Structure formats: C-alpha cells, structure tokens
C-alpha cells in the first residue's frame, strides 16, 4: 500500500515536532503524535478501502478528505488504530449532505457536534455510555 500525502520530515526532538505542527497550522496547541508512515499504515489496515478513497469535502474550507488524510489526522490526535473504523463512520456521517456540516461549522452560535457510539462496537472498544461517562479512562 502506498501513501500519497506530502511528507514533512522532522528528525529532532518531540518539541520540534510540536513546533512544526504549530507553524503549519496543523494543531490548536494541544500535543500532537507524529504521524509516522507505519502508524498511518496501521490505521489504514483496519479499513477495506484504498487510502486514496475520497470521503468528501470538509466545510467550510472545502478541503478534500481522503482515508489517508483522515488516518494521518487520527494518528496526530492519538487515536488508537482499533477506533479508526468508528472515526471513518463518524466522518462519513458528518460529511453527509443532509447533515450540513458547513452550516454547523460556520455559525456564530457556538454549535457543537457529538458522535454517539452505541451497540456491540462500543462494548468491544470499551466505550462507556453510562452515567458520568467522561470519568472513564478511555484512550482517544
């Protein structure tokens, strides 16, 4: 499997990775996990589609969303590989025309979107839906 995304090589220490991400507008200041090729490929190994598969455009910027770019972002956010199929399903839902993500994202009203994971997949991944679910120790 080959990846198409432009590469940024940073060989210095962890803080330099954070600085490069900040300088390129890839982070809001929260720590970033370096998206190594092996980590991205591990994410992509859990979905059947080709990395170049286009999921849609992210509004309001109209940025093209591919599985590869989504995997890169998931790695940077600290997502565990086994969660990636849920991330893909969530992004597909958010990009659905009827959801109108652009309308949500461009509002001045402070709208926020929530993804609810339920059923066997939630149980298999250890995602809590019980009272006080934010207190549970669940990795991103």
Give the count of domains, the chain.
Answer: 1
Look up residue 140 and give its two tokens: 């991103």
Domain containing 96: what range? 14-135
Inside any domain, residue 107: yes
pLDDT per residue as tens digits for the range 35-85: 889 999 999 999 999 999 999 998 878 899 999 999 999 999 999 999 999
β strands within the chain, DSSP E: 54-58, 63-66
Inside any domain, residue 78: yes
Inside any domain, residue 140: no
Inside any domain, residue 99: yes
Whether pLDDT at 109 is above 80: no
CB contact burial 16-46 (16+ within 10 A = b; e otherwise):
ebbebbeeeeebeeeebbebeeebbbbbbee
Inside any domain, residue 25: yes
Inside any domain, residue 9: no
Inside any domain, residue 8: no
Inside any domain, residue 6: no
């Amino acid at each position: 499997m080959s990846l198409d995304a432009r590469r940024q090589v940073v060989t210095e220490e962890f803080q330099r990775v954070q600085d490069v991400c900040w300088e390129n507008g890839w982070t809001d200041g929260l720590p970033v996990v370096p998206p190594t090729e092996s980590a991205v490929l591990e994410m992509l190994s859990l979905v059947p589609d080709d990395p170049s598969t286009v999921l849609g455009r992210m509004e309001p910027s109209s940025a093209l969303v591919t599985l590869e770019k989504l995997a890169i972002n998931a790695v940077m956010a600290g997502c565990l590989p086994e969660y990636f199929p849920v991330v893909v399903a969530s992004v597909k839902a958010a990009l659905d025309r009827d959801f109108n993500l652009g309308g949500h994202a461009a509002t001045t009203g402070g709208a926020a979107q929530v993804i609810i994971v339920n059923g066997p997949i939630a149980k298999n991944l250890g995602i809590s839906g019980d009272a006080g679910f934010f207190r549970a120790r669940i990795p991103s």
